[in-house]
Amino acid sequence: MAETRNYAFAGSFYPNGKREISAMTGGFLRKAMVNQAEADRFLSYVAPHAGYIYSGSTAGYTYAAIRMRKDLESIDTVILVGPNHTGYGTPISVSMLDWKTPLGDVANDAEFSALMVDRSELAEIDEAAHAYEHSIEVQLPFLQTIAPGKRAVFVCMGDQSLSSSKDLAVAIDEAAKILGRKVIVVASSDFNHYESADIGKNKDMQLIDALETMDYERFNALVGDLNDTACGFGPITVSLLYAKAHGGKKGDLLRYSNSGEATGDLSSVVDYASIGFG
C-alpha cells in the first residue's frame, strides 16, 4: 500500500465527517450557475481555498464547471497547483504520496508527478511543503464529490515568479504529451487580503481583466504594482499558460465574492474568484 498524506484541515477549513462534507459541497454545487458552453470550452481553472463557510460557494462554481464537462470521464489526471503559505520545503514541491480526506484517498498519478519533476528545471520531490499547507487539501473534497476516483498531481509553489510559472507549465505540458495523459489544471488561490471590500475589488478586477484577456505578463506586473495580495498568483499563471498552450483564448470570471458575505464585516475581507480559462 502506498504511503499517504493524512488530512490536516478537516474540522477547521471544512467538515470532518463524510455526511457533513457531502451536504456542504453538494449545496454549493447545486447553487452554482454555470453556462454549459463555457464549461465545455474550459481547459484549466482557478478556485479559492479558504474555509468553506467563506469561499466554498465560489469554489462550487469552479467544480460545477468541471463536473459539467462532457469529456470529464476521459480526463486522466487533475493537476492541483497551490501556493506555499508555510515557507517549508523547496521552491516548487511535488508530492509523491496519495492524499487522504474523510471521503477517502485521492490517488497520486506518481508516474506523471515523477516525469513532471524530470522535465522541470525547478521542481523537486518534496513532502515538507505539503505537510501543513491547506491550499491543495481543501480542493480535494470538491474533486472527490464531482469526480471520485480521479488521480491527481499535487504541486506547492513557494517560488511564484513568472519564470517559475513558465517552467512548471511547460513541464506539465511535456509530461502530459509524453504519457498521453488528458489533464486539467486547477490553480488554488484567494485574491486580495485584509482590506475593505471596495479597495480589494478595485485591485482584483484589474488583475481579473488581465486574466480575461490571457495577458499573463500584465497580470504578474499588476500583482506587484497594485500590491494585490492574491496568494496564488503563480498557480493562476500556470493555469492560464496551460490553457493558452492548448488554444485557450480568454478567461471567464464565474463568481467573485469576499469573506464579508459570511461575516457581515466589509471593512477587512479576503476576496475569492472562480475562473475558467479556455
The whole-number mean pLDDT for each consecutive block of 10 residues of the chain, a chain of 278 residues, reads 85 94 96 93 97 97 97 97 96 98 97 98 97 97 97 98 98 98 98 96 98 98 96 98 97 97 95 98
Can you give the pLDDT at residue 79?
98
The SS3 assignment for 119 reads helix
The upper half-sphere exposure of residue 47, i.e. CA atoms within 13 Å in the direction of its Cβ, equals 30
Handedness of CA 158, 166, 99, 259 (dihedral sign): positive
pLDDT score, position 1: 41
Task: Tabulate helix, strand, coil % of the chain (nearest 5).
Answer: 45, 20, 35
Give the pLDDT score at 2.
Answer: 55
CATH superfamily, region 4-190+229-237: LigB-like (3.40.830.10)
pLDDT of residue 3: 86
* Predicted pLDDT of residue 259: 96
The domain segmentation of the chain, as residue ranges, is 4-190+229-237
